[in-house]
Amino acid sequence: MKTVTALQAKPHLAGHRIDLSWQNPLAAEFEPGISLVGIQIVRRQRTFTEASDIGGDGELLADGQIVYNGAIISHFSDQNLSPQTTYYYTLFTLDSTGSIHTDLQARVACFSTQNYNLATQLYKLLPAVHQRYDTPLDAAQQVTLQTTNPALAQALDTLPPQLKNRGQLWRFLQATASPLDMMRSLAEGLPQLHQPDIVRPEFLPALAQWMGWDLDQTLPLFSQRNEVQFAPHLYRQVSTIPSLRSLVTRYTGWYTQVAEFEQQIIRTNLPAQLNIFALVAGTEPNQWHSPTNAALALGFIEDNASTTGTASTAAQLTSTASEPFVLTPGMELTITADGRVPNGVTFLPGDFVDMGAAVATEVVAVLNRTFSEVTATAVDGQIRLQSHTVGDSSALQIGQSVAALVSLEGAPRGRLSPVTDSLNHLRLFYETVTPLTEATTAAALQQLQGNPIGSIAGETATPNLQSSPYRPATPQGEIHYKSFRSGQWGEAQPLTHLSEGAAGHPTAVVLPDDRLWVAWVRYPDTASGQLEFILGQPAPPQPARLVSQKSGPYTLSPGMSLVFRVNGNRLVGVQFSGADLSQATAEAVRTVLNTQLTSVSAVAENGRLVLETPASGGDQRLELVLSLSSAAAALGFDQRNSVATGTWGDAITWQPVTATGDPGRHSDLAAVVAGDGRVWLFWSTHTGRRWSIVTAQWNSAAPPETAWSPIEPLAETAGGNREPYAILDTANRIWLFWSQRQVGSGPESWTLRRRVFDPGTTSWGPEVAVTVPPPVNSQVRDLTPQAIRLEDNNFQLFFQSNRNGGSDLWSATVIADPTNTTPIEPVAITTGPTLDSAPAPVQMPEGALWLLYRSDRSVSLSQIANRPMVALNHRIIQPNTGSTTPNSNTSQSFRRPDTGTLKRFAGANSIVLADIARIQRQRQWDDLLSYTPQKPDGGLLANDDLYTRGTIGLYLSRTIPDSPLSREKVERLKAVLENFLPINVRVVVILAPRVDIEYLYPPGEDIEERYQDQYPFVDYYSGLTDATDLDLPDWVLLLSNSIDQVSADPTDLTTLRDRTHFPPYLPPNNEPDDS
């Protein structure tokens, strides 16, 4: 065995000492020529020393102390120890080759006791007469004892001087009461049994058992302590995703991502919930980033976004950008260090003097406070990040945010309408829809109860289940809007309410007098659709204002003062002198304050003093510090009017809603303000057999009864025309873009068209194709066009298209010349598995080009709920009643939690075979496909049966190099998870290893053609083939969905009952009926 055996450790009765004894290994246990030459004893607290903690030269690499390192011994006394402390000893044997040996038998833990001197204290409690006559033997008595009892005299001589020179009673108590010190020490150490950090190892299983925790005693001691320490926290979060991730991390060290497969089960009437996201144009053509991507502002993008270390150096990244850094509230930076778990930080203004011109030292302070995985330093105005490790595992990866979430108020469809007024106040109008799961459930309950389903305008509900029409569960839309100011989006505000009827397809413009003009369709997607519009007057932003409760004159004394705290920054104040008090009117006080203060403005209104911040906006905050302001009461300020905040001007005063036009199937509204101030409204309307584009003008100067011009049709081709969008050029010409269905080029082929209105001739130009038409029968759909005018007067047109298979965003530059009829080859903006639609470009107040759009991409739960709940008695029992909009100027940057799970919004849609990017993500953590439930009849589920209501998936990837993924660990993990899951929840563990980098040739190695890979065979893939062979008498093979194989006879209507062709049978002219 080559290690010591029978190791024992005992606390000494005198305290502060532990005695060790053991048996050394026999010589026969070593190989011939190798012998035992020494013993090394390492003492440590809280855990044992491992062999890996001893360096090649015998030095200790970890904390602890080498208490003996020398010749062969079999016992050792460790003295001068701290009392009430458990010490962990590991004994190493050293052989003649320099190797060290140890195992579990060479470890022991022992408790060091205290010397309370209880024997002496008991002696002092004896009667004084006993203590007086308890004296040591004198010389004559010792001679007599030597004569009468030589053995006893010899034993007395061997006693230590402190015992030999005392009386018999004192020596008796010292011998019999010494164990009392050990008894008290052990009693004093009993509280340590409840402290997992310091309790002796043999008590850890008992602690775990009291909590019902199955302790894995094969783990290192520190890991066992951590399990017991954090078990109560995990029990409080039982059956939650954070608890599952914590369990997996603590047991395996693996990074966990959780998928709730219930979200991916197909349901009827569940379209995608398209939320609103944003992109910002980069410096290069067709380069788009997330507006919240701090990596772009700091210079950690593209080739400077990742690096690895070397054998002697740590991974290091230096920003390509230099201070000042243009940051905005809510920007995020994600860093993955050494291939471990990604962590992020959200920047807020509280850490910066000026967030729009942040300096390197400010950014570095935030990063070092937030991240423990890396060290940030400021170097010549740049930011340097460095890993804490060296070697091949040292790495840095800066995450690149794809898109910024704007709103979770999604809808299955609907274009976005952003507008900017003369104050550069951006507002976004959009349609939002109640999730269909609620509508479906409500409709089903009404059907079962026999109650009529709520009708829409022009339809009547019927009281029985057999009759019709019954309105199905459909989305109930409302119009909302939200404002963008100071780099952040405000709270959404409702423009219409569902109680007034469903509303959709909004469009908004800003009139020359800065009023808002908004139109929409009431009861959309029905034959009773009604056009409605409304006018609104926005309120201007306001500063933070404190208004005095008193009118002048004011009674002030010399030395009185006012002290303010502005926007949460340092204090500023003013002290009044005698000269200032000659006329203590509101005007006089105003003059004094404005003369001495620059961060506070004073105004006299109606004889009262008004204090306000120089700037306006919701981020302005003014506080009069009453405890330091002796003049506050005299000027009419107290607790009721000592704190004020500004407003963003989000409030809008709306006029009554006005309906216009006749009811019908209207959709896709778009408005533009012409050069003469008239509002041109364009929309799609269904006229009998097809969709057409029409327009009408609204004149604000005309009486209400004549404000609208007659409706004028603009596009009435046979295929159908949808989704118009209008924009002005510098010559005040109206450019109208729309989507047109192409007849004869496939059942679903849509292209973009345009027409131009010349105000000089008051006529529309011809219809012209905008983009290069797709190949025949390609079923390409170019939809939802919207454009923005560039500085060179040309237009950048954005639209949704499936030219690459999936629904992505595309762009094309349109020359602002009506005579230019050359089709444009568009370029893709977004790619990937998500469904992106309804792009809406907008020029931001600071000049950046943003692209707002809808998408069904999943959202991290950290973006859905980021407001903490109030915890009382370690339990969440009520929502946070505090302010939901803290002062952004005092908010500090914070570490963004990695929730490891996603909220899915993709709905239950059919698979598009051409969408390869979406299909390739099937059965992955971020899968957007939907599946039918597996084993719905209650059959026994296999390990690869994922899609059931009670199944969650744990996608595991390795973060620590020496913790490989293995099925053995997975099975052990499953046994642990069973105690932390509800009985109706099932866990499936899926190994998702990260991509490992394998160096075929070491860096810098001269290969000299010395390495080669040989493959024994090569397979060539020739593509998919479809062969059919049928040899049955009187049988005919009929293929479905084939244009030339139909089972219906147009002259015999009864044959239509069993037809297999889909889409429906085409008329003889081979043109589809688009009704």
Instruction: State the CATH number of the domain containing residue 14.
Output: 2.60.40.10
Q: How far apart are CA 640 and CA 619, in angstroms?
A: 21
Instruction: Please indicate, yes or no, whether residues 265 and 318 belong to a single structural domain of this protein.
Output: no
Q: How far apart are CA 606 and CA 591, in angstroms?
A: 16
C-alpha neighbours within 13 Å on the C-beta side of residue 862: 15
Instruction: Please indicate, yes or no, whether residues 382 and 301 belong to a single structural domain of this protein.
Output: yes
Tokens describing residue 627: 């405890």
* E strands present in 929-1009: 951-958, 986-991
Counted domains in the chain: 5
In a domain, 1064, yes or no: no
Q: How far apart are CA 347 and CA 298, in angstroms?
A: 12
Q: What is the CA radius of gyration of the chain?
A: 41
Torsion angle defined by CA atoms of residues 889, 894, 899 and 905, in that order, rounded to the nearest 10 degrees: 20
Instruction: Please indicate, yes or no, whether residues 211 and 305 belong to a single structural domain of this protein.
Output: no
Residues 6+ apart with CB under 8 A from 768: 753, 754, 755, 821
In a domain, 427, yes or no: no
- Looking at 335, 369, 400, which one is the last position of a domain? 400
Per-residue model confidence (pLDDT) at position 184: 92
Per-residue model confidence (pLDDT) at position 1055: 56
Concatenating the DSSP letter of every residue in 281-314 gives: E-SSTT-EE-TTBHHHHHT--GGGSEEE--SSSE
Q: How far apart are CA 23 and CA 3, in angstroms?
A: 9
- Looking at 991, 1019, 1041, which one is the last position of a domain? 991
The answer to whether residues 736 and 754 touch, using CB atoms and an 8 Å cutoff, is yes
Would you call 608 helix, strand, or coil by DSSP?
Answer: strand
CA-angle at 973, arms to 971 and 978, nearest 5°: 100
pTM as predicted:
0.76
- Pairing mode of beta strands 951-958, 986-991: parallel
Tokens describing residue 828: 């893709």
Torsion angle defined by CA atoms of residues 587, 590, 591 and 597, in that order, rounded to the nearest 10 degrees: 180
From 542, 541, 538, select the one nearest 651 (Cα to Cα).
Answer: 538
For the chain of 1075 residues, list the mean pLDDT of each consecutive stretch of 10. 91 92 92 92 91 78 87 94 94 91 92 90 90 86 86 84 84 87 91 89 90 82 85 79 81 85 87 93 86 91 87 90 90 86 86 90 93 91 91 85 90 92 91 69 63 46 38 68 88 86 94 95 91 94 91 83 85 79 77 88 88 90 91 90 91 93 94 95 90 95 91 90 96 95 75 94 94 80 95 94 93 94 93 95 90 94 58 40 41 82 90 91 92 86 89 82 68 80 88 60 54 57 66 64 64 55 44 44
- According to DSSP, the residues that pair with 741 across neighbouring strands are 750
Tokens describing residue 963: 């913790």
Q: How far apart are CA 886 and CA 866, in angstroms?
A: 13
Residues 6+ apart with CB under 8 A from 831: 804, 806, 808, 917
In a domain, 44, yes or no: yes
The answer to whether residues 38 and 58 touch, using CB atoms and an 8 Å cutoff, is no
Tokens describing residue 129: 């007469």
CA separation (Å) from 393 to 306, 339, 705, 784?
13, 7, 76, 47
Instruction: Please indicate, yes or no, whether residues 349 and 262 belong to a single structural domain of this protein.
Output: no
Q: How far apart are CA 655 and CA 650, in angstroms?
A: 16
C-alpha neighbours within 13 Å on the C-beta side of residue 573: 18
Would you call 144 helix, strand, or coil by DSSP?
Answer: helix
Residue 577 phi/psi, 5° resolution? -115, 175
Q: How far apart are CA 330 and CA 346, in angstroms?
A: 6
Concatenating the DSSP letter of every residue in 817-843 gives: -TT----B--EES--SSS-EEEEEEEE
Question: Residue 219 sits in which domain range?
Answer: 203-236
Residue type, 454: G
Q: Which residue has the tokens 């496939």?
A: 746
From 750, 766, 770, 768, select the one nearest 758 (Cα to Cα).
Answer: 766
- Pairing mode of beta strands 374-379, 100-101: unpaired
Would you call 420 helix, strand, or coil by DSSP?
Answer: strand
Q: How far apart are CA 974 and CA 991, in angstroms?
A: 13
The answer to whether residues 392 and 309 touch, using CB atoms and an 8 Å cutoff, is yes
- According to DSSP, the residues that pair with 314 across neighbouring strands are 390
Instruction: Please indicate, yes or no, whether residues 18 and 72 belong to a single structural domain of this protein.
Output: yes
The answer to whether residues 383 and 363 touch, using CB atoms and an 8 Å cutoff, is yes
Would you call 890 helix, strand, or coil by DSSP?
Answer: coil
DSSP secondary-structure letter at 742?
A: P
The answer to whether residues 609 and 548 touch, using CB atoms and an 8 Å cutoff, is yes
Per-residue model confidence (pLDDT) at position 920: 92
Q: Three-state SS across 50-110? A: CHHHECCCCCECCCCEEEEEECCCCEEEEECCCCCEEEEEEEEEEECCCCEECCHHHEEEE
Residue 904 phi/psi, 5° resolution? -95, 135
Instruction: Please indicate, yes or no, whether residues 307 and 210 belong to a single structural domain of this protein.
Output: no
From 553, 575, 579, 580, select the one nearest 635 (Cα to Cα).
Answer: 553
Tokens describing residue 280: 């910002």
Concatenating the DSSP letter of every residue in 357-381 gives: GB-HHHHHHHHHHH-SSEEEEEETT
The answer to whether residues 112 and 82 touch, using CB atoms and an 8 Å cutoff, is yes
In a domain, 718, yes or no: no
Alpha-carbon dihedral sign for residues 972, 977, 983, 985 = negative
- According to DSSP, the residues that pair with 988 across neighbouring strands are 953
Instruction: Please indicate, yes or no, whether residues 98 and 23 belong to a single structural domain of this protein.
Output: yes
Q: How far apart are CA 747 and CA 819, in angstroms?
A: 31
Q: How far apart are CA 768 and CA 1000, in angstroms?
A: 56
Q: CB 45: neighbour CB atoms within 10 A?
A: 14
Instruction: Please indicate, yes or no, whether residues 309 and 396 belong to a single structural domain of this protein.
Output: yes
From 900, 898, 935, 906, select the one nearest 922 (Cα to Cα).
Answer: 906
Instruction: Please indicate, yes or no, whether residues 207 and 263 belong to a single structural domain of this protein.
Output: no
Tokens describing residue 381: 């105005």
Would you call 777 helix, strand, or coil by DSSP?
Answer: coil
The answer to whether residues 884 and 867 touch, using CB atoms and an 8 Å cutoff, is yes
Q: How far apart are CA 607 and CA 586, in angstroms?
A: 6
Q: How far apart are CA 443 and CA 558, in angstroms?
A: 75
Q: How far apart are CA 390 and CA 309, in angstroms?
A: 6
The answer to whether residues 858 and 925 touch, using CB atoms and an 8 Å cutoff, is no
In a domain, 752, yes or no: no
Q: How far apart are CA 78 and CA 113, in angstroms?
A: 12
Q: How far apart are CA 782 and CA 1008, in angstroms?
A: 54
Torsion angle defined by CA atoms of residues 50, 52, 53 and 59, in that order, rounded to the nearest 10 degrees: 130
Residues 6+ apart with CB under 8 A from 169: 123, 126, 130, 131, 134
The answer to whether residues 83 and 15 touch, using CB atoms and an 8 Å cutoff, is yes
Tell me how far the alpha carbon of residue 581 is from its chain's centroid: 57
In a domain, 1020, yes or no: no
Instruction: Please indicate, yes or no, whether residues 261 and 305 belong to a single structural domain of this protein.
Output: no
Residues 6+ apart with CB under 8 A from 180: 116, 118, 119
- Looking at 400, 431, 447, which one is the last position of a domain? 400
In a domain, 751, yes or no: no
In a domain, 499, yes or no: no
Instruction: Please indicate, yes or no, whether residues 218 and 268 belong to a single structural domain of this protein.
Output: no
- According to DSSP, the residues that pair with 407 across neighbouring strands are 276
Instruction: Please indicate, yes or no, whether residues 18 and 108 belong to a single structural domain of this protein.
Output: yes
From 97, 90, 46, select the one nearest 69 (Cα to Cα).
Answer: 90
